[in-house]
Amino acid sequence: MSKSKKLRSSEWFNSDNKKMNFVHRSWLRNQGYPDDYFEGKPVIGICNTWSELTPCNGHLRQFAEIVKRGILEAGGFPMEFPVMSLGETIMRPTTMLFRNLASMDTEESIRANPLDGIVLLTGCDKTTPSTLMGACSVDLPTIVVPGGPMLSGRFRGEKIGSGSMNWMVKEKQKNEAFTDADFREAEVCLARSIGHCNTMGTASTMATMVEALGLTLPGFSSIPAADSRKKMFAQLSGRRIVEMVKEDLKLSKILTREAFENAIVTNSAVGGSTNLIVHLTAIAGRIGVDLKLEDFDTHGSKVPLLVNLKPSGKHLMEDFYYAGGLPVVLNRLKPLLHNEVITANGKSLGENYKDVACYDDDVISSLENPLKKEAGIAVLKGNLCMDGSVIKPSAASEHLMKHTGKAVVFETMEDYHDRIDDPDLDIDKDSVIVLKGVGPKGYPGMPEVGNVDLPEKLIMQGVKDMVRISDGRMSGTAGGTVILHVSPESTIGGNLAFVENGDLIELDVEARSLNLMISEQELAKRRSEWKVPESLAKRGYVKLYVDHVEQAHKGADFDFLVGGSGSKVERDSH
């Protein structure tokens, strides 16, 4: 480290205040660090989302040690710290409720400590956006180590993927016997190695996103967690972050508007999750890039689908890696990307992905011969979603893309569960299922319930898909003609609140419209008679969440968290 460039950590260890230096150094010395650790070595914070309650990140404790090897080799001083970890499958009521809390934990942990650069160890769905949001609000040099997907599952000869298997089991349960023993066997077949979901669900989408944003070493995101090359890349990331500190390659230098547009284009090409929308928007908000819901349609909807992975296609992340992984996609997308943007390794995106080979055209297709011509997310507007809603056409049914049907309304998730399989429910294949009260403030936490199951009696008749509308989200591993993120949500008096059974709803994806076919007068009358639903949030963090969470089209961040405060701390602790 040249003497001219002052490290942030030197304010703790080598400042003009000798007494403070003593305090800051002395207590750390109880870990056995030698003198020279405090004399100009960049201090690298390893922000670890490891937790036994987040099995997808269960290997990250070991990975932190590997990252440390790289940091030490490059002359840095590694300091690992834990942050709140969000385990998608276990946490109730939904991890999304805690994404902003984990981001606050990350932000404050970074800023308050003598750190010069950051490595984010992430994996499960929310652990990537939450930590990145927090890091953006501090804006130090930062690199991401994505934990990687699980190896492909195999159940009785059939290849199975995370999430997609859940839907398959549900269908099996409804149509034939699926015993407890079958369940137990399927469980372990599905999750046979370390890592996160192995489909292009939200975790793989987020890993893809960080690489497309330029925040990982090139080629890192698609490597399975159990592959030895994952560890090698973790070590190399440790080496690289030390250099990034020396180059002062901060997040804001990488996360330009162009980088965000690249992430949107890439997400379309890989058939990524709709959850990208709320997360990428929130990340952009933290770093000061004005990303609008419309940007996802403008930049993403015309992009062809190149990657044949579940839930949009048939393969799994392990196959994607063997086919060449994300580097092939970023290489093939060149005509659609901003290739000049700088990335974590100091090179441009275009340079990083210029020489790559594809080893399986069935897994990754070309721009000329894509799996689908237009794969991205469509943003709908209309009187049912004045600030927008979204649909993922690549996961929807062609015959429902232009559809008018009668609303069958469920006021809450509980109401849905109580009545959906009632044999007397007035519903047919052309009905539109409307679910209210599952938005950010309503549930609260905007859970992944938008892809509600169809009524059993219609499944028995062979109905495979129906139009479903809600203010909630959908799992990245799910599919169907599902309209999500309706904004404003019903709980704050968005027009979704005023839909009644039998109302006609008109969906036209090509025209980007979603409308409730009732008169302005009738709508006004219902609005005047409407009562605000009672909130479940009475105290504590959940109350803070409900009071401050923004609507889905703004990324569902807290109003007071948008933007950043930099890395400067005005006052010290003594």
- Contact positions toward Mg ion, by CB under 5 A? 88, 125, 202, 475
- Closest approach, Cβ 149 to ligand FES, in A, equals 8
**Cβ of residue 317: shortest distance to ligand FES, in angstroms?**
11
Which uninterrupted H or E stretch holds 21?
helix 18-28
What would the x/- binding string for ligand FES be over residues 55 to 84, using CB under 6 A?
-x----------------------------
Q: Output the six-digit token pair for 387.
A: 């600030």
Q: How far is the CB of 60 from ligand FES (least distance, A)?
A: 12
Nearest alpha carbon to residue 210 among 168, 141, 160, 266:
266
Decide whether 194 or 203 has the Cβ nearer to ligand FES: 203
Residue list 24-43, contact with ligand FES (CB under 6 A): none
What are the structure tokens assigned to 88, written together? 């998608």
Instruction: Indicate the residue among 90 and 504 with the shorter CB distance to ligand FES.
Output: 90
Nearer to ligand FES by C-beta: 54 or 109?
A: 54
Give min distance, CB of 147 to ligand FES, in A.
Answer: 9
Please tell me the count of residues contacting ligand FES according to CB under 6 A: 10
Q: Which of 96, 115, 124, 384 binds ligand FES (CB under 6 A)?
A: 124
> Binding marks (x or -) toward ligand FES, 181..210, rule CB under 6 A?
---------------xx---x-x-------
The secondary structure of 273-295 as a DSSP string is: -THHHHHHHHHHHHHT----HHH
Q: Is 271:307 a contact under the CB 8 Å cutoff?
A: yes
Which of Mg ion, ligand FES, none does 475 bind, CB closer than 5 to 8 A by kind?
A: Mg ion
- Residue 89 makes contact with ligand FES by CB under 6 A: yes
Partner whose footprint covers residue 196, from Mg ion, ligand FES, none (CB < 5 to 8 Å by kind)? ligand FES
Least distance to ligand FES, CB of residue 89, Å: 5
Spatial neighbors of 139 by CB under 8 A, at least 6 apart, are: 250, 251, 252, 287, 564, 566, 567
Shortest distance in whole angstroms from residue 330 CB to Mg ion: 24
CA distance 262 to 266: 6
**Rounded to the nearest 10 degrees, how much is the dihedral formed by the CA atoms of 313, 303, 290, 203?**
20
CA-CA distance, 117 to 444, in Å (whole number)? 35
What is the nearest approach in angstroms of ligand FES to the Cβ of residue 277? 18
Taking the complex as a whole, how short is the minimal distance between the CB of residue 220 and ligand FES, in angstroms?
Answer: 17
Q: Which is closer to Mg ion, CB of 100 or CB of 339?
A: 100
Residues 6+ apart with CB under 8 A from 198: 149, 150, 151, 152, 153, 161, 162, 204, 224, 316, 317, 318
Site for ligand FES in 139-178 (CB under 6 A): 162
Of 125, 139, 297, 557, the one binding ligand FES (CB under 6 A) is 125
Helical (H) or strand (E) element with 468: strand 467-470
Closest CA to 190 of 170, 171, 164: 164
The partner in contact with residue 162, picked from ligand FES, Mg ion, none with C-beta cut-offs of 5 to 8 angstroms by kind, is ligand FES
Output 138 or 150, the one with its CB closest to ligand FES. Answer: 150
Asked whether the CA dihedral 190, 193, 195, 199 is positive or negative, the reply is negative
Complex with ligand FES: residue 201 or 455, whichever CB lies closer? 201
Q: Say how far apart CA 554 and CA 441 lie, in whole Å.
A: 13
Q: What share of the chain is helix, strand, coil (3-state, %, to 5)?
A: 40, 15, 45
Phi, psi of 31 (to 5 degrees): -90, 0
Q: Are strands 158-160 and 153-155 parallel, antiparallel or unpaired?
A: antiparallel
Residue 404's binding partner among ligand FES, Mg ion, none (Cβ under 5 to 8 angstroms by kind) is none
Q: Footprint of ligand FES on this chain (CB under 6 A)?
A: 56, 88-89, 124-125, 162, 196-197, 201, 203
